[in-house]
Amino acid sequence: GKRMAAPAPDPQFTLRGAGSAVCALHFCSGAQGRPLLLSGSLRGLVHIWNLETRRPLAALDGHGGQCVTWLHTLPRGPQLLSQGRDLQLCVWDLAEGRSAVVDAMRLESVGFCRASILAEGPQRWMLAVPGRGNDEVQILELPSKTLVSCLKPEAGARLGMPMCLQLWQAESSPRPLLLAGYEDGSLALWDVSMRKLCSRAACHSEPVMGLALDPRRARGVSGSAEKALAVWSLEGQQALQVRGTHELTNPGIADLKIRPDSKILATAGWDHRVRVFQWRTMRPLAVLAFHSATVHCVAFDATGLLAAGSGDQRISVWSLYPPT
């Protein structure tokens, strides 16, 4: 007979003490490979959580009380990049327990668009951030902070502001690509070195709030303010093609992530819920109704752990469908 579905799972544990809404999450490994979770809060703090003791190791205050929207670590150092609504992108040195801003750069856009980084080589990184103009994306080289290119749609395109970015370089190709979701609901694929808009697809009718790409399948998914996810593919690395949409119970997706092993997709919902899908088939697997406010961000670590940060100031950590 058919097995009864197991009751909705509970989080493995919860992290409290962020002090305000949790807007950004990022897993990294700390000293001796110990797993750490970084969270950015509405009040401008970055917390570093020890996942064994489940307590914050440190709280970094570098954004003048303004919301931290994006976090990323670089292997060197280790260094942490944090993006804040104070228009600063800070570079932190976290080695040996330090927590000092070693570098900072001024951003041009006040929007909510999160940056994206391509850290392929050990020394040179490529960073995509929203640019000065209303609709442009800047590509910078780190650590030199040189402006590599400025991606601006043609005059009549009316894409609106960029809302989410994803830099990406296929193994088979020397050229980095940028996927950008725009205010008008469309998704664009840019060839960064050629500064050329390769393809564009109208995926949503509302601003694209987040996107996630599965490079192995050359397929991705995006969410917006509306009640559906859009699944699309990159044909021949140049043509964006909408594959289908997936209807949701409630409108509003703030963030999406595909687990590194490409098995499952997690979405952060305005309806306070985290939704988990089987990525290949988009079959819904679980609805995690734990938070009591909007879920702003989700993140996976290499071992498959899922974290979700919410406006209820809590971070929930889940272990679902452990990878083998």
Q: Which stretch binds another protein (CB under 8 A): 30-38, 84-92, 199-207, 227-235?
A: 227-235
Does 20 contact another protein by CB under 8 A? Answer: no
Q: Which is nearer to another protein, 46 or 231 (CB)?
A: 231
Does 99 contact another protein by CB under 8 A? Answer: no
Does 66 contact another protein by CB under 8 A? Answer: no
Does 216 contact another protein by CB under 8 A? Answer: yes
Q: Which residue has the tokens 């819904």?
A: 284
Does 272 contact another protein by CB under 8 A? Answer: yes
The residue within the footprint of another protein, chosen from 52, 96, 154, 171 (CB under 8 A), is 171
Cα atoms found within 13 Å of the Cα of residue 167, Cβ hemisphere only: 23
Q: Which residue has the tokens 């960064």?
A: 192
The residue within the footprint of another protein, chosen from 111, 218, 245, 246 (CB under 8 A), is 218
Q: Number of residues interacting with another protein: please give it, by CB under 8 A.
A: 44
**Which are the contacts of 213, defined by CB distance < 8 A and separation ≥ 6?**
166, 168, 179, 219, 220, 258
Whole-angstrom CA distances from 151 to 45, 134, 168 are: 31, 11, 15
Q: Which is nearer to another protein, 123 or 324 (CB)?
A: 324
Q: Which is nearer to another protein, 1 or 97 (CB)?
A: 1
| Bridge partner residues of 288 (DSSP) | 274
Q: Which stretch binds another protein (CB under 8 A): 115-123, 136-144, 150-158, 164-172?
A: 164-172
Does 289 contact another protein by CB under 8 A? Answer: yes
Strand 22-29 relative to strand 13-15, pairing: unpaired
3-class secondary structure per residue, 242-281: EEEEEECCCCCEEEEEECCCCCEEEEEECCCCEEEEECCC
Does 145 contact another protein by CB under 8 A? Answer: no
Q: Which is nearer to another protein, 125 or 232 (CB)?
A: 232
The residue within the footprint of another protein, chosen from 234, 274, 295, 298 (CB under 8 A), is 234
The residue within the footprint of another protein, chosen from 284, 302, 303, 319 (CB under 8 A), is 284
To the nearest 10°, the Cα dihedral for 286, 290, 291, 294? 20
Minimum distance from CB of 266 to another protein (Å)?
A: 13
Which string of DSSP letters, residue by residue, matches 15-63?
Answer: E----S-EEEEEEEE-GGG-EEEEEEETTSEEEEEETTTTEEEEEEE-S
Q: Which is nearer to another protein, 17 or 251 (CB)?
A: 251
3-class secondary structure per residue, 147-206: EEEEECCCHHHCCCCEEEEEEECCCCCCCCEEEEEECCCEEEEEECCCCEEEEEEECCCC
The residue within the footprint of another protein, chosen from 31, 95, 280, 303 (CB under 8 A), is 280
| Contact set with another protein (CB under 8 A) | 1, 3-9, 170-172, 216-219, 233-237, 241, 243, 249-250, 261-264, 271-273, 278, 280-281, 283-287, 289, 321-324
